[in-house]
Structure 1
Amino acid sequence: MKLWSVSAVVLVGLLGAGCVSTGLGTSRGPGASGAAVAVPSGRVSKIDQFSYITPACREVPGVAARITKQAGYGQVSIRRARDFSPYEAGNSSAACNSRRVPVWQVLYTSAPGYRGPDQFAYRKAFPDGKVLDVVVNVDVQ
């Protein structure tokens, strides 16, 4: 279920998504501001994945995420999962990339058969006080 495709405009408030490192936190989203991401119609697409873990691969409490605007032609959900973290080389938690750790995932699924534009928004907050407001313009194909 790893889908990182290229054709919807993603606008990120405060920071670009991509691989954003905030101390012990990291986020892998669809790309920097202005990047394009396409999603297939009717299928679950992982739009973002982020975590905040220690160098010992333990979760730091206090990460929060919520949908601030639901999609018009699909469904957005945020779930807790265990997956591989996307820390950049040199980050103190990069050694955790080879094992599944607690993460948050933002998922989008269009209405069956729908093709065209859609939009949704969500907010994610990290224990170090960083807050990211993300608006995603989706191109459903």
Structure 2
Amino acid sequence: MKLWSVSAVVLVGLTAAGCVTSGLGTSRGSGASGAAVAVPSGRISKIDQFSYITPTCREVPGVAARVTKQAAYGRVSIRRARDFSPYDAGNSSAGCNSQRVPVWQVLYTSAPGYQGPDHFAYRKAFPNGKVLDVVVNVDVQ
């Protein structure tokens, strides 16, 4: 597969009510426009953030995420956190936008002093059976 200058190449589609992905590195992020994700050298950058919650803002158990290809010139990690998730107005969980909810975050940190291209891949799976494989190209500056 030829890697494009795109921040995320979605290999398996994800359409799930109550599920949101936000930030860079997904089809909803700035990389969907065709540009690589620009990140500062040696600093932690949030590439993606996603959650699966009910309309009452409770987490639905069963979300899984893992790095499937580590970056060559940096480090990718996936962590649990509590943060805001911007659901679209028509989404049944949009009422949760004003409070911190459980989320998964994909973080990238380049090697100190490195500048140039890098890429990595990760997989996120949801309790409804949907799976999303994402390839991220980063431009370390």
- Do the two structures share a fold, i.e. TM-score over 0.5? yes
Give the CA deviation at 1:85.
1.0
**Residues 34-73 of structure 1 correspond to what in structure 2 (within 5 A)?**
34-73=34-73
Tell me how far apart the structure 1 counterparts of residues 37 and 45 of structure 2 sit (CA, whole Å).
10
Q: Where does residue 4 of structure 1 map in the other structure?
A: none
Matched-pair contact (CA < 8 Å) for 1:42–1:109 = yes
**Residues 1-141 of structure 1 correspond to what in structure 2 (within 5 A)?**
9-15=7-13, 22-30=16-24, 31=29, 32=32, 34-141=34-141
Q: Deviations over 1:35-61 (max 9, x none)?
A: 432011011000000000000000000
Q: What is the aligned-residue identity percentage? A: 79
Q: Deviations over 1:104-140 (max 9, x none)?
A: 0000000000000001000000111110000011110
Amino acid at match of 1:135: V
Structure 1 vs Structure 2 CA RMSD: 1.7
Q: Deviations over 1:60-97 (max 9, x none)?
A: 00100000000000000000000001211110000101
Kindly indicate which of the two structures has a greater share of residues assigned to strand.
1
The secondary structure found in structure 2 opposite 1:22 is: coil
Q: Normalization by structure 1: what TM-score? A: 0.87
Amino acid at match of 2:16: T
**Structure 2 residues without counterparts, runs of 5 or longer:** none
**Structure 1 residues without counterparts, runs of 5 or longer:** 1-6
Tell me how far apart the structure 2 counterparts of residues 60 and 135 of structure 1 sit (CA, whole Å).
25
Q: Where does residue 3 of structure 1 map in the other structure?
A: none
Tell me how far apart the structure 2 counterparts of residues 55 and 25 of structure 1 sit (CA, whole Å).
11
Q: How many residues align?
A: 131
Tell me how far apart the structure 1 counterparts of residues 40 and 95 of structure 2 sit (CA, whole Å).
33
Tell me how far apart the structure 2 counterparts of residues 120 and 77 of structure 1 sit (CA, whole Å).
11
Cα distance, 1:51–1:91 mapped onto 2, change above 3 Å: same
